Amino acid sequence: ADFEGRVAFVTGGARGIGRGIVRALLRRGVNVAIADISAAALDEVRAKFGEPQDRVRTYRLDVSDRDAYAEVGAAVAGDLGEVTLLFNNAGVIDSVSPSRLNYRMWDHVMGINLTGVYNGIQTFVPAMLASSRRCHVVNTASEAGLLEAGSGFLYHASKYAVVGMSESLRRELAHSGVGVSVLLPGPVATDIVQNARHLRPDAAPVHSARVIEILDTAHHMLKESGTRPDGVGELVLDAVEHDRPYVATRNELSDLLDARNAELRAAMEHAEALLAAS
Ligand code: NAI
């Protein structure tokens, strides 16, 4: 694929995986609009990647805010031109236990991880469909969108939904000139655990010492053994180039996926047997 001179929009692009995607785009000569909720992180990424008037523009955006999203979308079109590469990547983890439920956490996690992805699609895909150029959308889900892995039940729900939405959108947009891929990262060395703590709304539960310990352990595990975000960025661009449906970041889950499929097959066989006997 020819990337030179194209325009990309990357949400959550100021840090972590999003920043890895930004770096991979810049290496290929793409002009990049970085959208992020953190003004401080945007300042840092601008200092790292170049002048605002140059090939990188930054936009403060909460992806869960529809009106703000539409405004930023229009601003990017004016500043850089037609967006043909969209990376719906912003996301937060949740750490609410089923014994301490509240609606604010549901709205918070779903608003960013799921509605935020949809808001990006609603903002940019209509123009992509009207465009004569090839376009591509990459939605960041997680391995937690394929398997239960103890990441928190709201997080799992949001990521399964992103996988389903991406697979369906890919099929619906086949032959339209808009490709769709879903990114399924395993552990990546980012500060997502720490960052999500700062973004938590006031109504979030106050964590017990045990939960804080679990989060600290998770943070150190990601930082020490997670895949580097720059490597993930390269994997993502390879998938865009070859229009691949799925982007993984490691090869360690196939036994667990097989086990899950075996359970599902067993349920189907059981249904067939039970209904035949009744
Ligand atoms: P990160 O915390 O390093 O980066 C996420 C960025 O998104 C931050 O700069 C943050 O300010 C921004 N952000 C958060 N809420 C936002 C909002 N409402 N609007 C706009 N920007 C917002 O996290 P990381 O690890 O780079 O995560 C990126 C994506 O990758 C997320 O969707 C996450 O769920 C997913 N992921 C990460 C994994 C990991 O191990 N780090 C594993 C699997 C999936």
Q: What is the pLDDT of residues 141-192, one digit of tens each?
A: 999 999 998 888 999 999 999 999 999 999 999 999 999 999 999 999 999 9
The strand ranges marked E within the chain are 7-11, 31-36, 56-60, 83-88, 135-140, 178-184, 246-248
Residue 263 lies in a domain: no
Residue 178 lies in a domain: yes
Decide if the complex's ipTM is over 0.90: yes
Ligand 1 pocket, mutate which of 9, 23, 36 (most atoms under 8 A from CB): 36
Q: What are phi and psi of 251, to 5 degrees?
A: -120, 75
43/266 Cα distance (integer angstroms):
53
155 counts as catalytic: yes
Determine the pLDDT at residue 211. Answer: 79
Based on the structure, what is the number of domains in the chain?
1
The residue type at 247: V
Residue 273 lies in a domain: no
Determine the pLDDT at residue 101. Answer: 83
* 3-class secondary structure, 245: coil
Instruction: Given the residues 59, 118, 155, 160, select the one marked as catalytic.
Output: 155
Determine the pLDDT at residue 100. Answer: 79
Strand pairing category for 56-60 and 135-140: unpaired
Determine the pLDDT at residue 203. Answer: 47
Parts of the chain with a pLDDT under 50: 203
Residue 36 lies in a domain: yes
**CATH number of domain containing 61:** 3.40.50.720
| Residue 18 CB contacts under 8 Å (≥ 6 apart), including other chains | 10, 11, 12, 34, 36, 87, 89, 90
Determine the pLDDT at residue 184. Answer: 98
* The ligand 1 atom nearest the CA atom of 222: 40
Determine the pLDDT at residue 215. Answer: 86
Residue 275 lies in a domain: no
Residue 268 lies in a domain: no
* Residue numbers of the domain that contains 58: 7-252
User: What is the Å distance from ligand 1's center to 36 Cα?
Assistant: 10
Residues in a beta bridge with 179: 136
Residue 259 lies in a domain: no
User: What is the Å distance from ligand 1's center to 61 Cα?
Assistant: 13
Determine the pLDDT at residue 202. Answer: 53
Residue 113 lies in a domain: yes
* The ligand 1 atom nearest the CA atom of 63: 19
Q: Is the CB of 239 under 6 A from ligand 1?
A: no
